[in-house]
Amino acid sequence: MDSLIAKLYQSPKTILSNKDLALVWQENNEESLYAKTAYYVKQKALFRLTRGVFAKNKDYNPKELATSIYTPSYISFETVLREAGVIFQHYDTIFVVSKWPKTMTID
């Protein structure tokens, strides 16, 4: 396994942004970072989920993804209460609170 990918797998995070990749790989050059990420996506060592957000594998944490798309953001009370059993209506949507309103569907 490539040493750059090995560094990623040492991290407990399942979702990585461009900033995370730059920090882990100690890469200051944007063009070089984008070239590396494009290479690893093509090799299927990384999975591109949305612009600037990548997963190490298909078994990523959806809540981690939800809070990684926009920062700062956090999982809403509605989602937490549903998972705690306080709200009995079942749905698979994860609600996130952020400055910007947006609806996204990621497979």
Q: What is the pLDDT along the chain (107 residues), one digit of tens a residue?
A: 488 899 998 989 999 999 999 999 999 999 999 999 999 999 999 999 999 999 999 999 999 999 898 888 999 999 999 999 999 888 888 999 988 888 888 87
Torsion of CA 35, 22, 68, 11, to 10 degrees: 110
Residue closest to 39 by CA, chosen among 7, 4, 69: 4
- pLDDT tens figures, 69-88: 888 899 999 999 999 999 98
Domain with CATH 1.10.10 in the chain: 1-58
CATH number for the region 1-58 comes to 1.10.10
Element containing residue 50 per DSSP (H, E): strand 47-50
CA dist., res. 107 & res. 97, Å (int)? 20
pTM of the model: 0.82
- pLDDT tens figures, 97-107: 988 888 888 87
Question: Alpha carbon 19 to chain centroid distance?
Answer: 11
